[in-house]
Amino acid sequence: MLFEGVNTIRKIRFNDKYLAFGDIIGRVCVLSLANNEIQYKFGEHKGELSSLDISDDYVVSGGVDGKVVIYKLNDNISPNNGLNQGIHSLKTCTLTYSLTH
């Protein structure tokens, strides 16, 4: 079992290295596609996971608790303080910037 108890998977996202999924009580698992083993488990949300996305090194989750949590794979970046309403959609992107004008 991935977690104690049986919970319905709510969101699934993947890239070329990982498969991330979250359940109805707000927990997130990240499976390595190289060895088919769970590499990370996170439980920052207090309630249903409503949005999930993954990039090369980050997993971002949003929940009905109003939190957006950014997980850096290898260490967890602390979550924000909440937004007073549920999160319904998230999308990661690559940012390109220049220090010159």
Rg of the chain over all Cα atoms, to the nearest angstrom: 14
With CA atoms as reference, report the closest residue to 92 among 49, 65, 56. Answer: 56
86, pLDDT greater than 60: no
**Predicted confidence (pLDDT) per residue in 29-75, tens digit:** 998 999 988 888 888 888 888 889 998 888 989 888 888 888 888 65
Give me the architecture of the 1-101 domain, per CATH.
Beta Barrel (2.40)
What is the pTM assigned to this prediction? 0.68
